[in-house]
């Protein structure tokens, strides 16, 4: 996985690495926290990060593949636009409503059905990630979320 040649001076890595592929690329520090609290929720695939000259920037990052999907979104009460191509996936969110009666399966982190580009975490994992002082990630409340990443 490589850095953009458009920004040759930017080689800094974070614990959560934003990328155009939509993959969740995380550091060894994130892997340790998630593996300790939620060993059944994710698998970690090693990835090497290289800069625009193909020089190695990090060998301690992973693609975090979440293993669970849950029916957590209340489509009837959400203000969303479904994808015209992937008819069961949400393309735009204007106001997200969560199901109030969805049973927990014990997962600390999962991808919601209909919104696979995002990860939902519970309070326990969120607190552990915040306590670890990890960089490159923000946590937003899912219920009422308007689709804005800021």
Query: If pLDDT is split at 50, 70 and 90, which confidence band does 4 have?
Result: low
The model's pLDDT over 141-150, given as tens digits with 9 standing for 90+, comes to 888 888 887 6
| Average pLDDT over every residue of 114-140 | 93
Give the pLDDT score at 66.
Answer: 96
Which residues have C-beta within 8 Å of that of residue 48, sequence separation ≥ 6? 1, 56, 58, 59, 61
Do 62 and 47 contact (CB within 8 A), yes or no?
A: yes
How far is CA 139 from its chain centroid? 10
pTM, to two decimals: 0.83
Provide the terminal-to-terminal Cα distance of the chain, rounded to the nearest Å.
Answer: 26
User: If we measure between CA atoms, which residue out of 1, 4, 28 comes closest to residue 14?
Assistant: 28
- With a cut of 90, say whether residue 124 has pLDDT above it: yes
Mean of the pLDDT values across residues 96-108? 82
pLDDT digits (tens, 9 = 90+) for 49-82: 998 888 898 999 999 999 999 999 999 999 999 9
What is the tens place of the pLDDT at every residue in 24-58?
Answer: 999 999 999 999 999 999 999 999 999 888 889 89
Give the domain ranges of the chain.
Answer: 16-131
Q: What is the mean pLDDT of the chain?
A: 89
């Amino acid at each position: 996985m490589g850095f953009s040649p458009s920004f040759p001076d930017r080689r800094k890595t974070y614990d959560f690495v934003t990328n155009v592929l939509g993959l969740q690329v995380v550091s060894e520090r994130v892997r340790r926290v998630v593996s300790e609290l939620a060993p059944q929720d994710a698998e970690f695939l090693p990835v090497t990060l290289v800069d625009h000259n193909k020089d190695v920037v990090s060998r301690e990052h992973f693609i975090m593949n979440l293993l669970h999907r849950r029916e957590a979104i209340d489509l009837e009460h959400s203000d969303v636009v479904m994808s015209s191509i992937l008819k069961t996936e949400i393309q735009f969110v204007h106001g997200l409503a969560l199901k109030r009666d969805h049973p927990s399966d014990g997962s600390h982190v999962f991808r919601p059905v209909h919104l696979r580009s995002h990860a939902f975490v519970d309070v326990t994992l969120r607190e552990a990630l915040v306590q670890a002082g990890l960089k490159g990630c923000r946590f937003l409340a899912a219920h009422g979320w308007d689709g804005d990443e800021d």
